[in-house]
Amino acid sequence: MDGLGNVRIKGKSGKEYKFRAYPLNTKFDNFGAVYFITSRNQDPDGRVSHSRIYCGRTSDLSIRIHTTASFKENNANCICILPQEDKDSRTEIESDIKQNYTLLCNA
């Protein structure tokens, strides 16, 4: 699976996580991951930016992530994934990231 490139996301701990970006409608195999829903935009000069919408985790990425109305309102078009089979690691990474960013759809 090729993807759209890498996205580096830093946690509050200072640790940097390297996610792989894909179109939001991508179908994945069954594996655990931390994921980030973004609005991916390309500037006229070719630079790519991501508006951070939502961060979550799953034990099975093959199960479709439910697209909410608030995702659509925020122009969600990309899912960035960090494969992580260990449940405790997924929880720790998600928490680290959520503590570092104000996300548009995470409470």
All structural domains of the chain with their residue ranges: 5-98
- List pLDDT tens digits, range 73-98: 778 888 999 999 999 999 999 999 99
Q: What is the pTM of this model?
A: 0.85
As a whole number of angstroms, the distance between CA 89 and CA 29 comes to 19
Decide if pLDDT at 39 tops 50.
yes
What gap in Å lies between CA 9 and CA 87, rounded to an integer? Answer: 19
| Mean predicted confidence (pLDDT) in 2-13 | 88
84: number of Cβ within 10 Å: 22
Name the token pair of 7.
């996205």
Q: What is the pLDDT of residue 106?
A: 63
The pLDDT of residue 50 is: 77
For residue 27, is pLDDT > 80? yes
Q: What is the pLDDT of residue 103?
A: 78
What is the structure's pLDDT at 107? Answer: 47
